[in-house]
């Protein structure tokens, strides 16, 4: 896969899956805009790891619609175009109903949905408007296995990712006539900071045993699926959701 000359915006690109996605695009010739919210040190470390030049750091709170618009405008102004958007930014919060106050329950739902789903929707809108003028583009969403199997301790996360799946399929149908193609990758557990506590804890062996491979995914394995959906030749997969969970959850 060759992305020479392409401009890619990766939200949540400062670490974990986002960092691996940014690195893999850069290795294949893309110029990458790496988004972060608050961890400046992490995004600078990611930038230092990217081969090639002409990359860009952009900042935005994914709950801030105006900030997302400003971020996309900055990418197009400074990099001249926007060919690929990867909606990777997301948060996970546990809020089990039996142990959470009503106020905290509402707050968790609002934060998670605003960040994971509405933020991705706003980024997709702003990017799609740019791509319509260009006459081409790709949007790839990073969803989750939890959209299908449920997230009992973090139901807002599961709901946000299920919404992302539906959003991606709806946009795939609408944007295809504009030569803009939309795909989604749904990982299971991945070796990231977000999952580190679970993997290192007493439930770690059980998590790894969910897959017949006896392990969880590496960030690079998720990145490869993202790159595939963004690549030339994958246009007819628009609307598809690719599972990257090591057969830990098989859906029909």
Domain CATH for 167: 3.40.50.720
10-28 burial code (b ≥16 CB/10 A, e <16): bbbbbbbbbbbbbbbbbeb
H-type alpha helices, the chain: 16-27, 40-49, 65-79, 102-112, 119-134, 146-149, 155-175, 193-200, 204-209, 219-230
Instruction: Report yes or no on 251 lying in a domain.
Output: no
One of 36, 102, 157, 174 is an active-site residue; which one?
A: 157
By 3-state DSSP, what share of the chain in percent is helix, strand and coil, each rounded to 5? 50, 15, 35
CA dihedral sign of residues 47, 48, 49, 54:
positive
Instruction: Report yes or no on 116 lying in a domain.
Output: yes
Share of the chain above pLDDT 70, in %: 100
The pTM of the full predicted model, rounded to 2 decimals, is 0.96
**pLDDT tens across 179-210, in order?**
999 999 999 999 988 788 889 999 999 999 99
Q: Higher confidence at residue 196 or residue 120? A: 120
Determine the angle formed by the axes of helices 65-79 and 119-134, rounding to 10 degrees: 30
**pLDDT tens across 23-73, in order?**
999 999 999 999 999 999 999 999 999 999 899 999 999 999 999 999 999
Instruction: Report yes or no on 2 lying in a domain.
Output: no
| Count: domains in the chain | 1
Instruction: Report yes or no on 1 lying in a domain.
Output: no
Instruction: Report yes or no on 168 lying in a domain.
Output: yes
**What does the DSSP 8-state code read for residue 213?**
T
Token pair, residue 250, equals 């098989």
Is 157 a catalytic site residue?
Answer: yes
Instruction: Report yes or no on 236 lying in a domain.
Output: yes
Instruction: Report yes or no on 73 lying in a domain.
Output: yes
Residue 103: pLDDT over 90: yes
Instruction: Report yes or no on 249 lying in a domain.
Output: no
The pLDDT-based confidence of 165 (bands split at 50, 70, 90) is very high
Token pair, residue 190, equals 């991945």
- Structural domain containing residue 162: 7-244
Strand partners, 244: 187
**pLDDT tens across 211-234, in order?**
999 999 999 999 999 999 999 999
């Amino acid at each position: 896969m060759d992305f020479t000359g392409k401009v890619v915006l990766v939200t949540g690109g400062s670490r974990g899956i986002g960092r691996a996605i940014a690195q893999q695009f850069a290795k294949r010739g893309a110029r990458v805009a790496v988004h972060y919210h608050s961890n400046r040190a992490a995004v600078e470390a990611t930038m230092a790891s990217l081969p090639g030049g002409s990359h860009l750091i952009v900042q935005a709170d994914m709950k801030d619609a105006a900030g997302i618009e400003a971020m996309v405008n900055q990418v197009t102004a400074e990099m001249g175009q926007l060919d690929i958007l990867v909606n990777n930014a997301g948060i996970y919060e546990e809020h089990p109903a039996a142990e959470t106050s009503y106020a905290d329950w509402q707050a968790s739902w609002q934060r998670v949905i605003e960040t994971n789903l509405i933020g991705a929707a706003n980024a997709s809108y702003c990017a799609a408007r740019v791509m319509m003028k260009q006459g081409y583009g790709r949007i790839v969403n990073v969803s989750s296995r939890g959209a299908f199997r449920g997230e009992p301790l973090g139901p807002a996360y599961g709901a946000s990712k299920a919404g992302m799946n539906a959003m991606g399929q709806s946009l795939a149908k609408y944007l295809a006539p504009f030569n803009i193609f939309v795909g989604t990758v749904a990982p299971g557990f991945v070796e990231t900071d977000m999952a580190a506590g679970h993997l290192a804890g007493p439930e770690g062996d059980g998590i790894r045993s969910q897959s017949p491979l006896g392990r969880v995914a590496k960030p690079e394995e998720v990145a490869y699926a993202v790159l595939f959906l963004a690549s030339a030749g994958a246009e007819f997969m628009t609307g598809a959701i690719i599972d990257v969970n090591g057969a830990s959850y098989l859906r029909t």
